[in-house]
């Protein structure tokens, strides 16, 4: 999952490409590079690490040229060093690539036998050499690119430039997305519309298998069988997006603080506050809505934090709507060959709408004839466009690699869907619907209150910083939230953290507990609070250092009203996973800040994971 950009321009393009790459840095930041057509040949600048390093390189050694391609990398094949940074060159060819070429080894052997020598350890370099081989064999640029692409197996979004043809870029997509931007006197390619937002809002999304010949004033698109095809031009909303930290130190901090507002926006899309009723707004295919009443089963698939939002909702759908739910991480589901019930609904949850594993799961379910629904934050994403029903989250752009506001908005949509499903299936009467919607409507207010605990959490985070291991415990909907807490702590602070269902601790993991082990317990006072208290006593008896996140009553009954207890406002059970997310996120955030890690761009990660 890398970001790619191409511009066939009418001015010097290297600075424009770097600007667009900044908007794609969420896709990877191991290295970056740009190539342009200069004085009849290709030239490039590359740098290890983040884009600022490439910017510095270009400042020292500028790269002129009006046609160019650029790349920001998340390393798959080969270490994140300059020699592996894109663009990759072969004789008169430059290539940038997002994805994985699965048959690169056999292609590399074949090309080496043919006299091509490789300068990198990447899979991408085979594409450059394949195209160069086509040129050497007498094909024109279009023919050479088409022949090369036909040899590739795996996933790719590609932009290819030719030393012999200024004013031409060939784009191709199989798997990862690729958008073409239409300007007045320039044409653009990019991994998403947001990257191209400074230049144009006129966007054509290539379909899977498409490839395109992009020139300054024209674009020709071909499908996988090389037939010319027309693809429509959409007006993107990406241009409105301002990527700005405001007066916050990190994007993640800003995004945590945006939660009351974006939860409110999202809620407003799904409930009628006056009627205290759910109004399902499906922005997918209006002629094919979901029939929640007749559903035999719901199957949810997602990755990472989005998976954990789905896991929380399993409790809601089963409890409030009596709808059986299967939930899987997409990387397992896609190969599991799960039998799916006729008439079932397959729901995919994703902030980006581009996660490769989740998309593969979606394709499997679509092929099995399931109704496909998605909850996505990026409305123009591949996932949204491949779904019958689309339930958007209105979180706005999420830049921090660690998901925060997208998660709480996903939970908000899922809670609304669970209530609507309960109503349609006859398990929630009108009075209960009004009560549940009323409770959900209070989530933004509780989230605002939760944000006020930042100082206390900052102090507590001191205790976690520098620890080697942390355990998280929760029951019911707070079990997946405990998993989310552990995930946040791992990805932000690099401290090893694991989550367990509180009742499961005694079946093995309790062996880990000693007086060095912090144990974060997420336990609002609820029906099963007493059970969690027993589990906390088991931890305390072994010297574990408990950090309890609960409410006033929970603190009193646990007998732990100490500085290590975060006391949340009293709130209805339905909203606790949404609101308790705030202290859980903040604890991970401040631990990371104490430890001095890169909060918005943690090591080894990328925001959008468009490879397997």
Residues that are catalytic: 2, 607
Structure tokens at 110: 């074949």
347's enclosing H/E stretch is: strand 345-350
- Residue closer to ligand M6R (CB basis): 8 or 365: 365
**Closest separation in Å from C-beta 299 to ligand M6R:** 17
**Closest separation in Å from C-beta 358 to ligand M6R:** 5
- Residue closer to ligand M6R (CB basis): 305 or 545: 305
**Closest separation in Å from C-beta 124 to ligand M6R:** 22
DSSP strands (E only) in 74-226:
88-90, 93-101, 154-162, 168-174, 179-182, 187-190, 202-205, 211-215, 218-222
Among 69, 303, 502, 560, binds ligand M6R (CB under 6 A): 303
Task: Identify which range of 69-77, 231-239, 298-306, 442-450 contacts ligand M6R by CB under 6 A.
Answer: 298-306
State how far the Cα of 303 lies from the Cα of 398, in Å rounded to an integer: 16
State how far the Cα of 217 lies from the Cα of 204, in Å rounded to an integer: 14
- Residue closer to ligand M6R (CB basis): 104 or 333: 333
Q: Pick out residues in 429-488 that bind ligand M6R (CB under 6 A).
A: 487
- Residue closer to ligand M6R (CB basis): 308 or 579: 308
State how far the Cα of 63 lies from the Cα of 77, in Å rounded to an integer: 27
- Residue closer to ligand M6R (CB basis): 55 or 491: 491
Q: Are 99 and 610 contacting, i.e. CB atoms less than 8 angstroms apart?
A: yes
Task: Identify which range of 312-320, 396-404, 437-445, 521-529 contacts ligand M6R by CB under 6 A.
Answer: 396-404
306 lies in the site for ligand M6R, by CB under 6 A: yes
For 146-151, the CB contacts below 8 A with 24+ separation are: 146/211, 146/222, 146/226, 149/174, 149/211, 151/103, 151/107
Q: Which of 484, 565, 564 is nearest to 524 (CA)?
A: 565
- Residue closer to ligand M6R (CB basis): 212 or 609: 609
305 lies in the site for ligand M6R, by CB under 6 A: yes
The count of C-alpha atoms lying within 13 angstroms of the C-alpha of 485, restricted to the half-sphere facing its C-beta, is: 36
- Cβ-in-10-Å burial (0-12, 13-18, 19+) of 357 comes to buried
Please report the DSSP string for 389-453 in residue order: EE---------SSS-SHHHHHHHHHHHHHHHHHHHHTTSS-HHHHHHHHHHHHTHHHHHHHHHTT
Residue for token pair 């209530």 = 419
**Closest separation in Å from C-beta 377 to ligand M6R:** 8
State how far the Cα of 149 lies from the Cα of 147, in Å rounded to an integer: 6
Q: Which of 120, 9, 97, 3 is nearest to 51 (CA)?
A: 3
- For the CA atoms of the chain, what is the radius of gyration? 25
CB nearest ligand M6R: which residue? 304
How far from 215 is each of 33, 93, 181, 222, CA to CA, in Å? 22, 16, 11, 14
Q: Pick out residues in 341-370 that bind ligand M6R (CB under 6 A).
A: 350-352, 355, 358
- Residue closer to ligand M6R (CB basis): 381 or 545: 381
Q: Are 223 and 229 contacting, i.e. CB atoms less than 8 angstroms apart?
A: yes
Q: Pick out residues in 397-416 that bind ligand M6R (CB under 6 A).
A: 401-403
State how far the Cα of 355 lies from the Cα of 520, in Å rounded to an integer: 30
**Closest separation in Å from C-beta 350 to ligand M6R:** 3
Q: Pick out residues in 228-267 that bind ligand M6R (CB under 6 A).
A: none
- Residue closer to ligand M6R (CB basis): 269 or 350: 350
Q: How many residues bind ligand M6R (CB under 6 A)?
A: 16
**Closest separation in Å from C-beta 305 to ligand M6R:** 3
18 lies in the site for ligand M6R, by CB under 6 A: no
**Closest separation in Å from C-beta 22 to ligand M6R:** 19
244's enclosing H/E stretch is: none
Task: Identify which range of 195-203, 302-310, 388-396, 519-527 contacts ligand M6R by CB under 6 A.
Answer: 302-310
- Residue closer to ligand M6R (CB basis): 295 or 360: 360
Q: Pick out residues in 487-546 that bind ligand M6R (CB under 6 A).
A: 487, 491
**Closest separation in Å from C-beta 360 to ligand M6R:** 12
**Closest separation in Å from C-beta 584 to ligand M6R:** 12
Q: Which of 294, 218, 277 is nearest to 419 (CA)?
A: 277
Among 373, 608, 610, 611, binds ligand M6R (CB under 6 A): 608
Q: Are 211 and 146 contacting, i.e. CB atoms less than 8 angstroms apart?
A: yes
- Catalog residues that contact ligand M6R under the rule CB under 6 A: 303-306, 350-352, 355, 358, 401-403, 487, 491, 608-609
């Amino acid at each position: 999952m890398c970001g790619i950009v191409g511009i066939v321009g009418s001015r010097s393009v290297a600075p424009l490409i770097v600007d667009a790459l900044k908007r794609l840095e969420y896709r990877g930041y191991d290295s970056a590079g740009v190539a342009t057509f200069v004085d009849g040949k290709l030239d490039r600048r590359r740098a290890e690490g983040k884009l600022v390093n490439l910017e510095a390189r270009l400042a020292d050694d500028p790269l002129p040229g009006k046609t160019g391609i650029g790349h920001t990398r998340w390393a798959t094949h080969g270490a994140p060093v300059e020699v592996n940074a894109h663009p990759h060159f072969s004789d008169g060819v430059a290539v940038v690539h997002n994805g994985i070429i699965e048959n690169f080894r056999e292609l590399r052997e074949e090309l080496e036998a043919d006299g091509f020598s490789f300068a990198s350890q990447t899979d991408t370099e085979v594409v450059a050499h394949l195209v160069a081989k086509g040129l050497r064999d007498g094909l024109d640029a279009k023919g050479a690119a088409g022949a090369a692409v036909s040899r590739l197996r795996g996933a790719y979004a590609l932009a290819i430039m030719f030393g012999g043809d200024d004013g031409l870029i060939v784009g191709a997509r199989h798997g990862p997305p690729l958008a073409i931007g239409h300007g007045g006197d320039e044409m653009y390619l990019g991994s998403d519309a947001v990257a191209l937002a400074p230049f144009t809002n006129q966007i054509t999304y290539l379909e899977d298998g498409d490839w395109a010949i992009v020139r300054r004033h024209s674009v020709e698109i071909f499908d996988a069988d090389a037939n010319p095809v027309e693809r429509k031009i959409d007006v993107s909303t990406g241009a409105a997006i301002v990527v700005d930290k405001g007066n916050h130190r990190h994007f993640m901090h800003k995004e945590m603080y945006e939660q009351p507002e974006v939860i409110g926006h999202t809620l407003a899309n799904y409930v009628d506050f006056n009627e205290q009723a759910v109004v399902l707004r499906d922005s997918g295919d209006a002629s094919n809505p979901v029939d929640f009443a007749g559903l035999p089963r719901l199957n949810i698939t997602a990755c990472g934090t989005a998976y954990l939002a789905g896991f929380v909702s399993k409790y809601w759908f089963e409890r409030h709507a009596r709808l059986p739910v299967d939930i899987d991480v997409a990387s397992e589901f896609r190969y599991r060959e799960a039998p799916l019930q006729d008439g079932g609904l397959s729901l995919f949850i994703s902030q980006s709408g581009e996660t490769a594993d989740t998309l593969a799961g979606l394709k499997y379910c679509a092929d099995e004839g399931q109704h496909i629904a998605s909850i996505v934050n990026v409305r123009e994403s591949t996932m949204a466009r491949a779904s019958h029903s689309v339930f958007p989250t209105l979180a706005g752009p999420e830049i921090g690699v660690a998901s925060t506001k997208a998660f709480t908005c996903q939970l908000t949509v899922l809670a609304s869907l669970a209530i609507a499903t309960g109503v349609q299936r006859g398990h929630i009467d009108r009075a209960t619907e009004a009560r549940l919607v009323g409770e959900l409507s209070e989530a933004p207010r509780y989230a605002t209150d939760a944000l006020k605990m930042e100082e206390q959490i900052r102090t507590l985070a001191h205790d976690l910083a520098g620890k080697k291991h942390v355990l998280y415990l929760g029951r019911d909907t707070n079990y997946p939230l405990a998993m989310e807490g552990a995930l946040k702590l791992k990805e932000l602070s690099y401290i090893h953290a694991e989550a367990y269902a509180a009742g499961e601790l005694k079946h093995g993991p309790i062996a880990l507990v000693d007086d060095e082990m912090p144990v974060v317990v997420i336990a609002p006072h609820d029906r099963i609070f007493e059970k969690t208290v027993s589990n906390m006593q088991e931890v305390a008896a072994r010297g574990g250092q408990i950090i309890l996140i609960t409410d006033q009553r929970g603190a009193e009954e646990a007998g732990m009203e100490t500085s290590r207890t975060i006391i949340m406002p009293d709130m209805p059970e339905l909203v606790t996973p949404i609101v308790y997310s705030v202290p859980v996120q903040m604890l991970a955030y401040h631990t990371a800040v104490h430890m001095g890690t890169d909060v918005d761009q943690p090591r080894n990660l990328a925001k959008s994971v468009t490879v397997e």
